[in-house]
A = this chain, B = another copy of it.
Amino acid sequence: MPKIKTPTMSDVARLTGFSSMTVSRALRADTSTSDETRLKILDAADKLGYVLDGTAAGLSSRKTGFVAVIIPSINNANFAFTVRGLTEGLRNSGLQVLLGYTDYKMDEEERLVKTLLTRRPEALVITGGVHTERCRQYLYSSGVPIVEMWDSPPSPIDHVVGFSNARAGRIMARHLYDQGYRKIGFIGGDTDSDIRGADRRRGFVETISDFGLGTDRLWQSDQPVLTMAGGAKAMHELLDQYPDTDAVMCASDLSAFGAMMTCQKRGLTIPDDIAIAGFGAYDISANALPEITTIDVGARGIGTQVAEVIKSSLADKTHSKDPANIDIPTRLIVRKSTAG
């Protein structure tokens, strides 16, 4: 590694004979120089291996080009798709995603918000609508547009692009009921960490309760159950206690798959002996055997919409518009695993 000092704009300026201001202009798209000088400058910059210092540019222009994005987990296809949608939606605006993940921990989220605000993002996107008080405080006083996504918070901080997770639970409960199932269980974690999973559970329980069905087949844990192994284990326990369960909704397709494997290991046929439903329209639900009924919220589309909200919010100099509140439709995908 040669430890040569990185060239700066002044170096390019010196080489071309222009002032560094002209160099700055030549390197940016929205500013004007004559074509001739621009070419000369680009050429010299290339020759020197000049790379713009975004740190300095951001400090000076008060525009860092960062959009901070906070998701619960980086190892989750749904959030990954949202980030993709976001990244691509922002690319043409020259905005770059600065990603952080919380591991489904609220205090980690708070820490992360603080760290990310340090980078002076032009907007901040956060997953869910429940945060620590101090975290809300940081967000409120950040002075940049905030987007809460993947949820439908009762009192949003600013913009929202999400959906009601409770509604998703209700939709699935109704579907299972419509298919004729009456001994329906749920597998999912508790309230403190996977808040959205817990909301789905709540909607689910409300609905089967409305239908007059028992709500005792609710498996739960103090950890989020969003993994295959977690779903598999939970299903064992549920079946041990309630062997006659005829349908189960899981908080995620991954746990649904695990649960289905458990059933198959125990010699149960899906859906004849027991129906399984998931959430999230992960790859696995479309490729498992049998295919698993799920709910699609268009994870990528959420990202795309968030990008639009951010762009329009940043373009709106007057701050006249009301915060956006976009409701993403939740689409039930009926597959063989619940073919009553």
Q: Which residues of A contact B (CB under 8 A)?
A: 1-6, 49, 51-56, 58-59, 64, 74-75, 77, 80-81, 83-84, 87, 96-99, 101, 114-115, 117-120, 137-138, 140-146, 158, 227-229, 232, 254, 257-258, 261, 264-265, 283-284, 286-289, 319
Q: How far is the CB of A184 from chain B (nearest CB, A)?
A: 23
B74 touching A120 by the CB < 8 A rule? no
A287 CB contact (under 8 Å) in B80, B96, B228: B228
Other contacts beyond A4-B143, A228-B284: 13, CB < 8 A: A1-B143, A1-B319, A2-B143, A3-B319, A53-B59, A55-B119, A74-B83, A75-B81, A227-B283, A228-B283, A229-B286, A254-B283, A261-B289
A54 CB contact (under 8 Å) in B49, B56, B119, B158: B119
A289 CB contact (under 8 Å) in B1, B74, B265: B265
A138 to B46, CA, bound (A): 11
A55 touching B58 by the CB < 8 A rule? yes
B232 touching A261 by the CB < 8 A rule? no
A51 to B257, CA, bound (A): 44
Residues of B within 8 A of A75 (CB): 77, 80-81, 84
B51 touching A55 by the CB < 8 A rule? no
Top-4 shortest CB links A-B: A75-B80, A228-B287, A54-B118, A49-B141
B114 touching A51 by the CB < 8 A rule? yes
A228's closest neighbor in chain B, by CB?
A: B287
Can you give 12 contacting A-B residue pairs, CB < 8 Å?
A1-B143, A1-B144, A2-B141, A5-B143, A54-B119, A54-B120, A55-B55, A55-B119, A75-B84, A232-B287, A257-B287, A264-B289
Q: If A227-B283, A229-B286, A261-B288 touch, does A64 touch B55 (CB 8 Å cutoff)?
A: yes
B84 touching A6 by the CB < 8 A rule? no
Q: How far is the CB of A283 from chain B (nearest CB, A)?
A: 5
